[in-house]
Amino acid sequence: MNDWVIALIKVVFIWTWTLIIATIMTWVERRGSAMIQDRLGPNRAGPFGLFQPLADGIKLFTKEDIIPEKAHKILFNLGPILFALPAFSAYAVVPFGDKIVIGGKEILLQVADVNVGFLYIVAVGSMAVYGIVVGGWGSNNKYSILGGLRSTAQLISYEVPWGIVLLTTVMVYGTFSLREISLAQQGTFLGFLPNWGIFKQPLGFILFIVTAYAEANRVPFDLPEAESEIVAGYHTEYGSMRLGLYLFGEYVNMYTLAALMVTLFFGAWHLPYVDMSKFLSPFAYGIASFLVFFAKVAFFLWLFVWVRWTVPRFRYDQVMGLGWKALIPLALANLFITALVVQLTV
């Protein structure tokens, strides 16, 4: 029974945590972009405009809920749910810290340490595309359909190199469990580098980050919602909280992907050269590991924002070209080389 309560607390905690982060991310996005563009951004609601996301949330909740007359009612309602649900559930297997000891009980800072965590993420992550397609189709709007189609093609093509890169890391660590991968990144590599995934898989990391941007529909791969081309893509017809779910889902996706990046390539909760568990009390270590992990995630979240306001957008066929002609061969080559190295060294 006790385990159930702990699991429930963890679920609720990570759920609210991602929601809060997603909310704050909307603020970071706006303020960050403003700073990059020599502006100030929202600064009226609360100190530094921190309550702006709250105000936006209230606005989204209280706005009139419009369903276009000729939209497919069921699909139109289903779209945002299908998009947000996988986004929220994907985080379940990603750790958010090492472990914490409360009252003599050791608690893993991870909702579920599934031994097929990878497959779960790939499977659930792919579900998001249904939300986009269903929403785009249900809206009965040509722009929405275009956005939905673009998104389908993009997500499906980028899932291939993404999957291959994940496979490569699995090969390196020999496990499907994200927790074990995290634990394996302690210590040093070649004597002087932190034992992080990025030093073992530099090409893999670059491929992963590019595909992650495509998976999250972020600039330069934001074709599904390319504002200047197809208005708002698949969520053109959406308003009020339905739109809110799409936007939230997007940020939660970003959070999951950033966490995955940290887990696979940036040593999860490990600080370079320092083993925190040796000189911190178990409880403090739990907190510290969570904070270190989050700091790394925060950097990647910021990178999402930073890149968005720096580069232009791809064109549809160019995205496909990049995915199939450049990323997949590179990922395969990377896989091959890794396999060779693993085979020779083990």
Partner 1 sequence: MSRQLDAQAGHGTGDFVTINIGPSHPAMHGTLRVVALTDGETIVEADPEIGYLHRGVEKLAENLTYHQFIPITDRLNYCSAITNNVAYEMAVEKLMGIEIPDKAKVIRSIMMELARISDHIVCVGILGVDLGAFTPFFYLFIQREELYEIFEWYNGARLTNTFGRIGGVEADLPEDFEERWRRLVPNLRKAIDETDKLLTHNRIWMDRTIGVTAFSAEDALNWGFTGPCLRACGVKRDLRKDEPYYLYDQLSFEVPVGKHGDVFDRYMVRMIEMEESIKLVDQLLKIYKEFGPDDPLMAKVPKVLKGPEGEVYAAIESPNGELGFYVKGDGSDKPYRVKIRPPCYMVYQAFPELVKGEMVADLIACLSSLNIIAGELDR
Partner 2 sequence: MARPVVEKKYSFTERIYLYEIVKGLGLTWKHFVKNFTASLKRGPHTVPTCWQYPEDRREISPIFRGEHLLLLDEQGREKCVGCGMCARACPAKCITVKRGKVAEGEESRYAGKTYCEEFQIDLLRCIFCGFCEEACPKGAIALGKGYELARYTPGECQLTKEKMLANYRREKELGILKPPRKPVPVAGAAKEAAAKAKGADEGKAKD
What's the closest the beta carbon of residue 38 comes to partner 1, in angstroms? 6
What does 49 bind: partner 2, partner 1, none (CB cut-off 5 to 8 Å by kind)?
none
Burial code (b: 16+ CB inside 10 Å, e: under 16) for 242-268 equals: bbbbbbbbbbbbbbbbbbbbbbbbbbb
| H helices present in the chain, as ranges | 2-36, 52-62, 73-89, 117-138, 142-173, 178-183, 197-200, 202-215, 227-230, 240-265, 276-279, 282-308, 316-321, 328-345
- Please say which residue, 34 or 284, places its beta carbon nearer to partner 2: 34
Q: Is 38 in the site for partner 1 (CB under 8 A)?
A: yes
Window of 41-49, 88-96, 140-148, 164-172 that interacts with partner 1 by CB under 8 A: 140-148
Q: Give residue for tokens 């090409």.
A: 203
Give the CA angle between residues 149, 155, 160 to the nearest 5°: 135
Q: Which stretch binds partner 1 (CB under 8 A): 68-76, 85-93, 295-303, 309-317?
A: 309-317
| H or E segment to which residue 194 belongs | strand 193-194
The item of partner 1, partner 2, none sharing an interface with residue 299, based on CB under 5 to 8 Å by kind, is none
Using the rule CB under 8 A, is 36 a contact of partner 2? yes
Q: Among 101-109, 183-191, 201-209, 228-236, which window interacts with partner 1 (CB under 8 A)?
A: 228-236
Q: Judged by CB under 8 A, which stretch of 8-16, 17-25, 30-38, 163-171 contacts partner 2?
A: 30-38
Check binding of 28 to partner 1 (CB under 8 A): no
Is residue 275 a contact residue for partner 1 (CB under 8 A)?
Answer: no
Contact status: 269 vs partner 1 (CB under 8 A): no
